[in-house]
DNA sequence: GCAATACTCAAGTGCATGCTTGACCAAACG
DNA sequence: CGTTTGGTCAAGCATGCACTTGAGTATTGC
């Protein structure tokens, strides 16, 4: 089985940088070149390229060179995996809250043997 | 004004660490103390505490002390904000693909062999 | 050919992160 | 009481990250 853990590491790490999120926002409107991505960002082209490489290593972005320009585009599958991890945890938590609500109606707070599932 | 950007920074940064995600997975099953969170993690209690502080600063986790134990629990609102950011970008991208339709699928140099590294 | 464009590579710098150890405090327990 | 248990604070350290500059390569356009 795949080491999904390291993969999620890279995805969340990639999304943790505000500049990279700006790039993702730009890319969600459509493909763009490296220098287009650089435009709103007040940093050197070389720095932007490094960000692109981080995004690519995480799988969030794919790119290909044609001529002298590199065109980047979003890979929605990687976004989906991060989204699913989050929503699964949230769903678990909220389902638990539901159960807890029912228990509080009838039981005293102390329940020593919590038979999980 | 609310700087949602810095907030998302902290949330994604918090989720980028595998140990912290393990803690979130544990917490999604229900509240836990710091030492319970530490149990599967092969690091010192002090280190775990620092992780808890990161999670708390991001808003993903809340905690309160009663007696000598600190009990941590998930705050689903923060999870939801990250989830929404991701799904919004993915939705934009996918809507764009819809609008453009199959027309853009022109000039494939080769068939869909996306070269995985 | 020559110059501008678009990117790429390497090395270096400064600050943030993830961890450690050691001292310390306070609640629980015998 | 004293000891264990659960947590907290403060340095300190090693690594990683986000940049920079400077040089270099491949295309495009004149």
Say how many CB pairs under 8 Å bridge A and B. 91
Nucleotide nearest to A41 (CA to C1'): D19
pLDDT tens column, A57-102: 999 999 999 999 999 999 999 999 999 999 999 999 998 866 666 5
Q: Which two tokens stand for residue A98?
A: 């539901």
What are the strands of the beta sheet with B61-66, ordered from one edge?
B32-33, B69-74, B61-66
Domains of chain A and any CATH numbers: 4-77 (1.10.10.10)
Cβ contact, residue pair B28, A92, below 8 Å? yes
Q: Name residues 34-93 of chain A with a Cβ under 7 Å from nucleic strand D.
A: 43-44, 46-47, 50-51, 54, 66-68
Cβ contact, residue pair B83, A62, below 8 Å? no
Nucleotide nearest to A70 (CA to C1'): C7
pLDDT tens column, A40-63: 999 999 999 999 999 999 999 999
**Sequence-distant contacts of A15-21: CB under 8 A, at least 24 apart:** A15/A60, A15/A82, A15/B8, A15/B12, A15/B86, A16/B9, A16/B12, A16/B13, A16/B16, A17/A51, A17/A54, A17/B9, A18/B5, A18/B6, A18/B8, A18/B9, A19/A43, A19/A51, A20/A51, A20/A54, A20/A55, A21/B5, A21/B8, A21/B85
- CB-count exposure of residue B37 (10 Å: 0-12, 13-18, 19+): buried
Q: Examine the pLDDT at A113 and tell me if it is beyond 50.
A: no
pLDDT tens column, B47-103: 999 999 999 999 999 999 999 999 999 999 999 999 999 999 999 999 887 776 655
How would residue B1 be classed by pLDDT, with cut points 50, 70 and 90?
A: low
Q: Examine the pLDDT at A110 and tell me if it is beyond 60.
A: no
pLDDT of residue B113: 45
């Amino acid at each position: 089985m795949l080491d999904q853990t390291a993969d999620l590491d890279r995805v969340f790490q990639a999304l943790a940088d505000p500049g990279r999120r700006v790039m993702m926002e730009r890319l969600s409107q459509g493909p763009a070149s490296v220098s287009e991505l650089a435009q709103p960002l007040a940093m050197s082209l070389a720095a932007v390229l490094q960000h692109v490489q981080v995004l690519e290593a995480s799988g969030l972005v794919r790119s290909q060179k044609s001529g002298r320009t590199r065109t980047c585009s979003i890979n929605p599958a990687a976004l989906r995996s991060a989204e699913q991890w989050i929503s699964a945890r949230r769903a678990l938590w909220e389902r638990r809250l539901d159960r807890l609500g029912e228990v509080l109606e009838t039981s005293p707070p102390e329940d020593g043997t919590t038979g999980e599932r």
